[in-house]
Structure 1
Amino acid sequence: MNQEITAAEQDVEQGGRGLAKLNPAPRQAYEFVLKIDDAPGPFAMVKGTAQYDVINEQECGRIVPATGRAGRITSKEEVKLQKVSDNEYRGTVYLDLMQDEDYYGRGVCQWKFSGAGAMLKATGADGETRFLSFIEADRFVKGETETQHYADMGYPRESMDDYADYGEDAPEGFKPELREKLFSITLAAKEAQP
């Protein structure tokens, strides 16, 4: 196997982008907005990500010998979020951040933005609950919002280390005695003005 491909696969396993390259001049900019309501305390760690997937991996990706099929190609890129108030963060997401290219000598891989997400932690310490939220690309581009509700009892941590809390779409997803002790994270976007 090609050394460059082997190194790229190891990079992907460690959270890198492998052979994938960033577009040197992305232009499709959207303002990504994260709002927090009624949180039981502050969040020292607020990280944004944008996810991109290759939509034609069968024609362009590396064939996995065990299956004879091309593996999924995806990349999660950091979105730098700036704190604009105690409960609001903003950053820029580029729909065209990834570079379409022939990575494996089988054809040009075509990237598509699949959505944006956020991870919040109370102090950022190991073991704390990770409050996670994600908005799909079609809703993001239309300027719609995605709100998830979370129980205060998981802040700063659940009984399980590094618990991934994806929240619920509505307060009714929680038992009645918890519904008065919830907070929410809302994600939204709007096309950036040039």
Structure 2
Amino acid sequence: MKTRIALAAFTLSITLTAGCSMTHGSPKDPAKNPHPVKRYEVIATSQAPGPWDSIAGYIGYDVVNKKCLPMDSFLGQQDVPNIGIDIEMARVDEHTWKGYFYRDALQDEDYYKLGVCHWDVTSVGITAVATGVRFNWSHTLNTLLRDGLQTSYFKKSLYGDRAAARYGAQPLTAEDPEVSQHPEAYFPVTVVVKDVIP
């Protein structure tokens, strides 16, 4: 009988320990915030020469208060934790996609006993693929919130060019000479982020 009681107590102890460990994360694998509230909408558009095989959003998170991080004695600097989370982009029409993310999706924690580390979104990107070629366009969240809609350009000839699959297509801006001099050879893509009011 005593053996059964001891075994039951041991099992309960293991269960409780496992349950507690699941609520904590690490800098490389942060825990999810169980009650996120800061919801944002991502809207992407594309005037590509043809359809995309796939399109997805990518949200970059960083620890934004370096005081909570230890100094790496070998490198002589702090190693700032960061993580990326993919989000689904739902098709609205032939040229438009929408997705959502939570700015407070990750749980703030004291990883190093130097104070609570705060996670925040630092970048928002879109990845579209056609015949194996990746077209990535991204901007910092601060830029998107401050300046609104951002436009990038890709060379039309890269769409469907399997030779470009290894390195992907390079995004350009309207200020790039090749775009301003030969606008007809490029197609625009955009991304904008909007705060979703609860």
Instruction: Give the TM-score range, shorter chain.
Output: 0.7 to 0.9
**Pair 103,164 (structure 1): closer, same or farther in 2 beyond 3 Å:** farther
2:46 to 36, 40, 47: 36
Larger proportion of helix: 2
TM-score relative to the length of structure 2: 0.76
Whole-Å Cα distance in 2 between the matches of residues 24 and 116 of structure 1?
22
Matched, 1:75 2:75: no
Q: How far apart are residue 175 of structure 1 and its match?
A: 6.4
Whole-Å Cα distance in 1 between the matches of residues 75 and 110 of structure 2?
21
TM-score relative to the length of structure 1: 0.77
**Pair 65,174 (structure 1): closer, same or farther in 2 beyond 3 Å:** same
In structure 1, the partner of 2:100 is: 92
Whole-Å Cα distance in 2 between the matches of residues 144 and 176 of structure 1?
22
Give the unaligned 5+ runs of structure 2.
1-25
Root-mean-square deviation (Å) = 2.5
In structure 1, the partner of 2:35 is: 25
Counterpart of 1:52, as a letter, is Y
SS of residue matched to 2:85: strand
Contact 1:151 1:178 in 2 (8 A): no
Counterpart of 1:44, as a letter, is D
In structure 2, the partner of 1:6 is: none
Q: How far apart are residue 67 of structure 1 and its match?
A: 2.0
Provide the aligned length of Structure 1 versus Structure 2: 173
Contact 1:143 1:190 in 2 (8 A): no
2:130 to 122, 132, 138: 122
SS of residue matched to 1:26: coil
Higher mean C-alpha displacement, 155-164 vs 40-49? 155-164
Give the unaligned 5+ runs of structure 1.
1-11
Larger Rg: 2
Whole-Å Cα distance in 1 between the matches of residues 151 and 174 of structure 2?
8
Counterpart of 1:48, as a letter, is G
Contact 2:153 2:179 in 1 (8 A): no
Whole-Å Cα distance in 2 between the matches of residues 103 and 64 of structure 1?
15
For residues 121-153 of structure 1, give each alpha carbon's deviation from its aligned partner in whole angstroms, at most 9, with x where no partner exists: 104xxxx32211112212322470111011111
- Identity, % of aligned positions: 25
Q: How far apart are residue 19 of structure 1 and its match?
A: 3.1
**Pair 139,171 (structure 1): closer, same or farther in 2 beyond 3 Å:** closer
Whole-Å Cα distance in 2 between the matches of residues 177 and 187 of structure 1?
23
In structure 2, the partner of 1:166 is: 170
